Amino acid sequence: MNKSLERHPLSRLLVSRQSAMLLAVSVMAALLSPCFAAYEQKPDPAGIATGDKTTAVDAGGNAFAVPEPTDKNAPDYTKNKKDFDDYQAQAAKEPLAVKLADSVGHIRIATNFAWTLNTGYLVLFMQAGFALLTCGLVRKKNAGHLMMLNFAAYVFAFLAYYAVGYAFQFGAVAVNAAPGNLGGVPTLNHFLIGSGQWGFLGGKGFFLTGPAYDAGSNCLMLFEVVFMETAGYIIVGSICERITFWGFLLCELFIGALLYPIFGCWVWGGGWLSQAGASMNLGHGYVDFAGSTVVHAIGGFAAMALAMILGPRLGKYGKDGKPRAFPAHNLVYVVIGTFILLFGWMGFNPGSTLGATDLRISVVAVNTNLAAVAGSATALFFWYCMFGKPDITMACNGMLAGLVAITAPCAFVSPTSAVTIGILAGLLVCGGVLFNERVTKIDDPCGAISVHGFCGWLGAVCVGIFADGTYGSGWNGIGAATYLGNAGQGVTGLLHGDTRQFFCQLAGATLCAIWAFGATYLVFSTVNKIKSMRVPPEVERDGLDIPEFGMSAYPEDAVVTAD
């Protein structure tokens, strides 16, 4: 995702063109914050000061305006000073051009605002898709309960993210946490825990106050909160039909306030994983374009921990340990839900450029679709070969698996690689569902662990394999001028000659799985010991609709408890 620091033309401009060297300068500046004050920008709640001549850039991201170099001891000072003087002389000759550039810069930021907000609305609509998909996949007697979980997830996780989550994730890059595409000037100056290249937790902008009360920050907040909601929804698919409502609300608050924002800070908020390229020479650092791990694997592995804590649904495994099928109660919901998710993903991935002025969005959109259909076709044929008939619910899971896996690499790979990734994901999701059903015996009613957990992990690793170097030059501050000896070389994978990137992806994705599973297991196995998060057996047998909420999704079928 394009929230990394030196990636943005504006910050590249302000921090100078030699970004590797200047990253070091900014780290020094972070340590000496009085020196750093010059880079800070006042919050702009009205949006009238966001976007001026400094944000007017050409197609290559080169800025029109040249900033005045401030550090006289920097090696490039003489050259930068000359560039600045030339620009000043030119500007004095053509004042109208400078005024025009102010306008162009503002419109560029406005275009990116419109893109980011609208794609954010598409991601918001994915919640409807999740609700339909998970509801369709469970038994009729729990349909109302599923709808309530899906609805309450949005409400409570949103509030948690507003209160502290956003600050933990992006507060490190305050004062204005918005990336360059949204007119912000991110810095690495405000970690609550850690500093510079080794930041672990952001620390500004709680309750969207202070520096976060800013037009650019709020644009980012809207886009990010719906991503967090996606991670929050994923767990529903694994814990449904047996979790109590209060237990579920605790899970949502935990994900919105802590689990998601902390890992999000490490990867998208300027944290230590994103800086692994600069600090440990691991390629471009850990790269996850739109959240295969940051969103999906976090949700998927948290779901795995919760499903293990809760145990399988009553009757899922017979006395002989053999799994029993609990067929989906409404395939129509399943298919419509999946298509809504596919549609929403057109915001999820292309929107993650955070700017329509980044024309890679078309490749991202096509890659996303290709992986989706390849994953679906693979799952369909896999099931056909294994069990004699294609299974519509697995074809839908295969489509989602392809989408989850392409989410991290979508901007960095060719369409051919996208198809390959989709096929790998389609195979992995089928294997994962059978593995959980028959071997680990973790009861996962909607396949969320396989779709989001396993395929999320795969997606981030695929960046390290298939990234072809055509996009992402300067990502996380690495290789803005040249990378691997080529000018303009972007994020590169194993197949195109960057082994270190592959190791970084493998380690980062695995760390994500460990973090999500470990933290969730630790917290909720403790909660579960204090008070069981599972409904009593008789409630589970009758269906959760009436006992938990007093109403059934299909009242004419109401099965009422006897006592």
Nearer to other proteins, 438 or 541 (CB): 541
Q: Which stretch binds other proteins (CB under 8 A): 152-160, 163-171, 281-289, 550-558?
A: 550-558
Of 140 and 500, nearer to other proteins (C-beta) is 140
When the beta carbons of 434 and 558 are compared against other proteins, the nearer one is 558
Minimum distance of other proteins from residue 305's CB (angstroms):
29
**Taking each helix axis from N to C terminus, what angle separates 392-407 and 415-435, rounded to the nearest 10 degrees?**
130
H or E element: which one contains 96? helix 95-137
122 binds other proteins (CB under 8 A): no
**CB of 558 vs other proteins, minimal distance in Å:** 5
Residue 561 interacting with other proteins (CB under 8 A)? yes
- The H or E element spanning position 202 is strand 198-202
Tokens of 508: 């980062």
| Residue 94 is a binding residue for other proteins (CB under 8 A) | no
Q: Least distance (Å) from other proteins to the CB of residue 242?
A: 14
Output 110 or 558, the one with its CB closest to other proteins: 558
Strand bridging mode 482-483 / 486-487: antiparallel
Select the residue interacting with other proteins from 82, 438, 531, 541 (CB under 8 A). 541
Query: Which range touches other proteins (CB under 8 A), out of 52-60, 68-76, 239-247, 540-548?
Result: 540-548
557 is an interface residue for other proteins by CB under 8 A:
yes
For the chain, the residue count is 563
Question: Which range in 34-42, 215-223, 456-464, 541-549 contacts other proteins by CB under 8 A?
Answer: 541-549
Quick check: 563 binds other proteins (CB under 8 A)? Answer: yes
For 317, the 3-state DSSP assignment is: strand
* Residues 490-509: b if buried by 16+ CB within 10 A, e if exposed: bbbbbebebebbbbbbbbbb
Residue 536 sits in the site that holds other proteins (CB under 8 A): no
CB of 535 to other proteins, least distance (A): 14
- CA separation (Å) from 115 to 62, 119, 122, 421, 521? 21, 6, 11, 27, 38
Query: What is the C-alpha separation between 452 and 468, in angstroms, rounded?
Result: 24
Question: Which of residues 141 and 496 has its CB atom nearest to other proteins in the complex?
Answer: 141
CB of 316 to other proteins, least distance (A): 12
Classify the C-alpha dihedral 480-484-490-494 as positive or negative.
negative
In this structure, what token pair is assigned to residue 15? Answer: 């921090």
Name the β-bridge partners of 199: 194
* Residue 274: CB minimum distance to other proteins, A: 48
Nearest to 256 by CA among 351, 120, 153, 126: 153
Q: How far apart are CA 143 and CA 26, in angstroms?
A: 53
Q: Pick out residues in 458-477 that bind other proteins (CB under 8 A).
A: none
Question: What does each C-alpha distance from 499 to 30, 287, 465 come to in angstroms?
Answer: 31, 14, 9
Of residues 315 and 431, the one with the C-beta less far from other proteins: 315
Stretch that binds other proteins, among 144-152, 374-382, 489-497, 539-547 (CB under 8 A): 539-547
Which residue in 122, 546, 548, 553 binds other proteins (CB under 8 A)?
546
Query: What sections of 240-358 are H helices per DSSP?
Result: 245-254, 260-267, 276-280, 298-310, 331-348
- Using CB under 8 A as the criterion, what x/- string covers residues 302-321 for binding other proteins? -------------x------
Q: How many residues bind other proteins (CB under 8 A)?
A: 14
Q: How far is the CB of 550 from other proteins (least distance, A)?
A: 5
- 58 makes contact with other proteins (CB under 8 A): no
Q: Are the CB atoms for 87 and 66 separated by under 8 Å?
A: yes
Give the C-alpha separation, 479 to 485, whole Å.
9
Nearest-angstrom CA–CA distance, 157 and 151? 10
Look at strands 198-202 and 486-487 and give their pairing.
unpaired
Instruction: State the minimum distance, in angstroms, from the CB of residue 147 to other proteins.
Output: 15
Q: Calculate the dihedral angle through the C-alpha atoms of 523, 529, 534, 536, rounding to the nearest 10 degrees.
A: -170
Q: Which is nearer to other proteins, 58 or 563 (CB)?
A: 563
**By C-beta, is 531 or 541 nearer to other proteins?**
541
Smallest gap from Cβ 542 to other proteins, in A, equals: 6
Q: Which range in 37-45, 283-291, 364-372, 537-545 contacts other proteins by CB under 8 A?
A: 537-545
Q: Which of 88, 484, 538, 554 binds other proteins (CB under 8 A)?
A: 538
Nearer to other proteins, 32 or 562 (CB): 562
Q: Which of 141, 73, 57 has its CA nearest to residue 105?
A: 57
Q: Answer whether 255's CB lies under 8 Å from 302's CB.
A: yes
What minimum distance in Å lies between the beta carbon of 551 and other proteins?
5
Q: Which of 542, 544, 548, 553 binds other proteins (CB under 8 A)?
A: 542
What proportions of the chain, in percent to the nearest 5, are helix, strand and coil? 65, 5, 30
Interacting residues with other proteins (CB under 8 A): 315, 538, 541-542, 546, 550-551, 557-563
